[in-house]
Amino acid sequence: MNKVLNVSAYRFVALPDAQDMRAPLLERAISLQLKGTVLLAGEGINLFLAGTEANVREFLALLRADPRLADLQAKESWSDTVPFGRMLVKFKHEIIRMNHPAIQPQAGRAPALDAATLKRWLDQGHDDAGRPVVTLDTRNAFEVDYGTFSGAIDWRIAKFSEFPQALEEHLDELQGKTVVSFCTGGIRCEKAALVMREAGLHDVWQLEGGILKYFEETGGAHFEGKCFVFDEREALDPALKPK
């Protein structure tokens, strides 16, 4: 039972040699009998992998041996079977597509909020300065339908590249509030927070590690439903168990 380790991780960091990294990483992942996807781009790395605990940890250690990826943080969950059908390593122009070239997370990120602090803010109904707190779901509408934070703002976007336009249309809703952007694992809300700051919103945070890290560290308080994941498990409950 629960013999398969599933990990997701990302890091925005300049990787000018991203294309050259693809083949050796694929070869090593296959040799370790891993399944999943690794995305590489000039702006960083994004991965979802599953396999035996020893082999997954060996692959993560290989990545972290690169000084640029030394602090790569992985979110973990366990399953009885591998939820991916094959192993892919791809080169992309963006590890998460937004089509907004001015946003460069590898050059500096928006402030991050840990799970415990968000839970405390939601418990008390305001941030530590007494400002009203709103949570902003940056995921696609079908993902939100599986579950989200109670009262979260949801602009019903169909794909993440629609986020900047949605923000422009709803900017007034966020004025005067502390905004915490969130997503599955942190990668989308990291870009979203930068776009909001670019638009002139200053009290903006990204939820560190996304919903999955929030589940891991808080048990899912204030979250209703389950979290959609892009693998055969489909969705995870706050105990990080498949639906």
Catalytic residues: 183
DSSP 28-42: HHHHTT-EEEEEEET
147 Cα distance to chain centroid: 16
Q: What are phi and psi of 91, to 5 degrees?
A: -100, 130
DSSP line for 64-75: HTSGGGTT--EE
For residue 23, with 0-12 CB atoms within 10 Å meaning exposed, 13-18 middle and 19 or more buried, which class applies? exposed
Residue 7 to residue 24: CA distance in whole angstroms: 20
